[in-house]
């Protein structure tokens, strides 16, 4: 017994009556996991037949209900799960330092993905709907782990506050922390040279809105020079959604008052998110990354001289899935080297989470670390659960297991994100 609720032993499931434990709450499932041949827990892939209890009522020994911290990440799909995992890792140290247990849930709006080809208002409406669902399930803060959604941050906050005043104050965007880290990396290099080159990999919508170049211009107090933008019609890989997609590349520059400059290059490949979400074969993914990077970066080096990018921002939270492929092709195509820095956004948002928790939990400092059995329970408890709006449960489950193979397979549940679903 922990608190007032009995918990199943690790890997144990009540298969006969069709129930599964989801973050401490019980959820009726249409399909429930069984034990894997090696004795480890198999993933739960399911469609909810009742509203999921996204966070528990039970607590670890010695902790009260107000010691439960409920955090959610939101994305158009799987990519934000990287942020959830970074937050999970950070929570382990926090639960050693403070009387707190962390319930982490990831919400992926896969029925409407990819957001990169939606209109700004569609992006805002879809994202606000999914974020509101996370709050309705009990989240205390929601981290928007989606760059395309974050481009509509102001509109999303309006929609959330129209539903329930104050929710916007509990919603965190990924863009501000990314711009701050990008500027930090640029500033370090500007101490040594007069021009710094930045490459940003994002969705077509994020690129077309010039979100990061405009934010950098504001950060440096200068005007963004007129950009060069090219679009490319390509066959759509995920043909369920149509026949063609439009990828985009972008280049512009910031001229600083002291004569130094920042060159900004962006690419927005339109097929990558669907390839990730719907588990394109590895050889198809490899070919897409190779051909798209060659196509979309071909205009970057106009002089034929040595051309190396100093900083690469993977500013779509899906793209860490392709991180190794991106780095390999950047080296092969000659625009990166051993000194090129790659920015991933999950750790940046985990840093915001850590700062937030350090302030909030200051009055809950432990006299000593938790005992080994409690610490193990807190670690298991913090593993993120995945709630998606689309039918790609198996693909999501497979991605999580392939990328985080060292972890127990996560619970993956399909739920409606509509405002009237609860």
Which tens digits make up the pLDDT trace of 339-379?
999 999 999 999 999 999 999 999 999 999 999 999 999 99
- Whether 173 has a pLDDT exceeding 70, the answer reads yes
Distances (CA, A) of 357 to 95, 101, 352: 10, 11, 9
Cα separation of the two ends of the chain: 30
User: Domains of the chain by range and CATH?
Assistant: 19-173+346-414 (3.40.50.1860), 175-345 (3.40.50.1860)
Which tens digits make up the pLDDT trace of 281-318?
999 999 999 999 999 998 887 766 778 999 999 999 99
Contact 199, 311 (CB under 8 A): yes
Distances (CA, A) of 94 to 57, 312, 388: 20, 30, 28
C-alpha to C-alpha distance for 110 and 388, rounded to whole angstroms: 6
pTM value is 0.82
- pLDDT at residue 41, rounded to an integer: 38
Distances (CA, A) of 222 to 116, 265, 271: 28, 17, 33
Which tens digits make up the pLDDT trace of 148-169?
999 999 999 999 999 999 999 9
Read off the tokens for 249.
């590349």
- pLDDT at residue 421, rounded to an integer: 46
What percentage of the chain reaches a pLDDT higher than 70? 84
Give the DSSP letter string of 308-334: --SEEEE-STTGGGGHHHHHHHHHHTT
- Whether 381 has a pLDDT exceeding 80, the answer reads yes
- Whether 3 has a pLDDT exceeding 60, the answer reads no
C-alpha to C-alpha distance for 406 and 404, rounded to whole angstroms: 6
C-alpha to C-alpha distance for 290 and 229, rounded to whole angstroms: 21
C-alpha to C-alpha distance for 297 and 267, rounded to whole angstroms: 7
Query: Strand, helix or coil at 164?
Result: coil
Phi-psi category of residue 235: left, alpha or beta, with phi > 0 → left and psi -120 to 50 → alpha? beta
What's the chain's average pLDDT? 86
Of the candidates 202, 200, 170, which has an alpha carbon nearest to the alpha carbon of residue 74? 170
pLDDT class of 207 with cuts at 50, 70, 90: very high
């Amino acid at each position: 017994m922990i608190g007032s609720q009995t918990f199943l032993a690790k890997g144990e499931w009540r298969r006969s009556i069709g129930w599964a434990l989801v973050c401490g709450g019980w959820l009726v499932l249409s399909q429930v996991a069984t034990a894997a041949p090696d004795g480890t827990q198999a993933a739960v892939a399911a469609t909810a037949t009742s509203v999921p209890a996204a966070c528990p009522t039970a607590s670890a020994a010695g902790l009260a209900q107000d010691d439960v911290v409920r955090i959610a990440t939101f994305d158009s799909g799987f990519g934000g799960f990287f942020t959830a995992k970074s937050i999970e890792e950070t929570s382990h140290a926090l639960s050693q330092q403070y009387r707190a247990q962390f319930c982490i849930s990831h919400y992926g709006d896969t029925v409407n993905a990819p957001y990169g080809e939606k209109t700004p208002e569609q992006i805002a409406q879809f994202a606000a709907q999914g974020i509101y669902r996370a709050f309705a399930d009990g989240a205390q803060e929601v981290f928007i782990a989606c760059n395309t959604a974050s481009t509509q941050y102001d509109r999303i906050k309006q929609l959330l506050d129209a539903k329930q005043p104050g929710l916007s104050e509990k919603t965190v965007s990924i863009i501000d922390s990314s711009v701050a880290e990008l500027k930090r990396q640029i500033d370090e290099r500007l101490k040594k040279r007069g021009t710094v080159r930045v490459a940003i990999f994002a969705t077509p919508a994020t690129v077309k809105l010039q979100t990061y170049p405009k934010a950098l211009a504001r950060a440096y107090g200068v005007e963004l020079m007129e950009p060069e933008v090219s679009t490319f019609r390509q066959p759509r890989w995920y043909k369920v959604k149509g026949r063609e997609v439009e990828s985009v590349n972008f280049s512009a520059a910031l001229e600083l008052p002291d004569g130094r400059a920042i060159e900004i290059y962006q690419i927005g490949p339109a097929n990558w998110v669907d390839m990730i979400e719907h588990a394109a074969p590895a050889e198809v993914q490899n070919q897409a990354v190779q051909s798209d990077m060659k196509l979309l970066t071909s205009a970057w080096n106009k002089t034929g001289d040595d051309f190396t990018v100093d900083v690469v921002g993977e500013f779509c939270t899906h793209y860490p899935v392709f991180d190794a492929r991106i780095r390999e092709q950047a080296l092969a195509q000659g625009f990166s080297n051993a000194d090129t820095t790659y920015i991933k956004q999950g750790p940046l948002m985990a840093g915001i989470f850590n700062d937030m928790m350090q302030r909030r939990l200051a009055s809950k400092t432990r006299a000593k670390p938790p005992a080994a059995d409690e610490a193990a329970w807190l670690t298991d408890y913090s593993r993120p659960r995945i709630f998606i709006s689309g039918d790609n449960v198996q693909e999501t489950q497979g991605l999580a297991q392939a990328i985080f193979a060292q972890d127990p397979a996560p619970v993956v549940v399909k739920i409606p994100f509509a405002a009237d679903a609860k």
